[in-house]
Structure 1
């Protein structure tokens, strides 16, 4: 029983690719507005070598090309389709005639860089109706031939495609490489390399966090120590064990180290009353990737110490049969009410006179696993109050047991005792019972106060034990 000015109190702990058909001749990008450069198109110096039998000299000039992909943000293991289009080439035409059916298909290389090195071989797609040997020119013949020795004409829908598999996370660059035209002319970048035309961003693979901790006890008094064990940590890594209240750490902290098998053992002093869970982590601060899930822990207030001597005559006092209240279980999916009962309270009034008394209660919010909180207003009660039967006189033979008094409906009055109204308790408090007065000086009046309690939880409340403190005040 904890004394307060002018009152008596008792606290109770409550538990509970699109592929484009390639045309004859050279290569070109999709149609764009006149004089408008398509996104990703780059230019680079190029040397083009005609077939030796033509007797033509190499042609130097500028190639305009662009690379597109069907997946700009693939994941590791995905297949990416690469399309290489040439809009302008310095290659000279060794024939001046359209590329015939059966000419070699345009082909080229796309260079990979950044997070993944290598190259992608690309070639033009051959329509099924275009007969010819394997590797022959794709698409209909060029219907717009040029002059012998003139610049090779470019068709409007030519494209070369190929695929590669993503093997590394990070940024992958795609750069135009050399290409071969249906005329047999081979063109290569004249400088160190062409500019980057396209980029891919590959996210890293998710990391599996197997770190976890368990506690030797789920609750304890302030200043106590709790043994913490854990698994799944990096072998030999320093580990911080800390108290936690919601998303923030508390002042409780201890240092430890994982053994060669990644196991952890430590003792954490818990002095901060705000601590509602314990975590362990590697690095400077807790993160979901480097730390364990919180393990629920409750700091219990010390039980009130009973008075060493009874209340002197002429006082107002109360006593309770057991302070802890254990509620029933509630199904996870359905939710519902967890029933329980407070410990019976006996109120004794020996003051005399017309002074009355009031017994009230209030409850803190309930704290559950991982710092989950349930409002105290979720707890309701239905009080009852009866006059306490007088002590039987001492007789040689044992008297017959007294008949238990009937409980009183809420709102009615029996003698000088009135039970409070049923309803929520909450942090603001509610009346459990009240008395209208006392017998003359030197007399004594006793009352027995009870209450059925019920905690109402919504469906899918996270499972686990929930605790709160219910404080009764007599004044």
Structure 2
């Protein structure tokens, strides 16, 4: 278990809801909603009431939990008018706004338009906007992090139109009724690692001996089969037990089949990689009575006893890089090197799984654990019978991901060096301070 800490700086704003209040019009993602736009007090103009035509689009309609989605909010038409009392240059309008998130998760996205410098063609032909004429279309973008699986809806929220020349004036437009949903995303959950495993009180015994088995990670209350295995095939040795409220099974398995080389546990009718544990090595020691040795000879017998599977790690603190407040981005780092020693013998490989909690900072502000990704590495020391495979690069998250593993084989074992480069994606405008989480590694 290791503690990760990052100095960070863009969280989402306070949660808000968006109700589905009408059909889309025009282009996909385009809707209309009643709006009241309040011109700046200096303009001396009355409020402007009328419909806003807006369009919401995203760069990824089917994200995974932990992904960052870019949202584009286009105000196609607005009742707001030029408040300056004179012609408004075509490059003098800068918008900001909010996109409302609801469904599987709630919140809002702050979206910002590009600050215009120089004469950009913001309106047709780049012509100035006369005093009192409707303001031209604007486009704003922002990002949010997906934290929950399921359907996520996006609706346009309030927006502000800032005129930078000749005076800095703000026209604030708010919805007079709940804006309609303009875009829908379907977020998929992170792939979950199989944490089912078995531990044996003894790694060998005579035919008929009972081995005490502890199996963990199963569905509470499920019927679990504990069985012998010879490579990819099952043997005649098996017993059934019920998982307790924590998903743990305690059983005694009589091992009589001399073909048994490992023990597994599984839910359902047969072992599978999704509902079963990996194999734990077990050797049936069948005593053989030899004829008496000839006179003048001596029989020599040596026993190689199986050992254990274990790991050590360098350090318990992982310092990630800092990011700038308002910019967000990647906070990089590396986990402490992990050394895995497999001295069990037999056919069972191993898996090293990592899970990370949310990052907690000042005032309880959180960065989702799904924002942490890694690129694992694994090297087997010379002479190790097993090859080592690094886990896939990607999100770690609270559900867990594989850091490294070795396959099942006729004979396994060795010493392995495991590491990973990690990166925490920090949203823009995350409050400054230190954010900490706990990374837990499980070897089975």
Larger relative strand fraction: 2
Greater C-alpha radius of gyration: 1
Provide TM-score, normalisation by structure 1.
Answer: 0.44
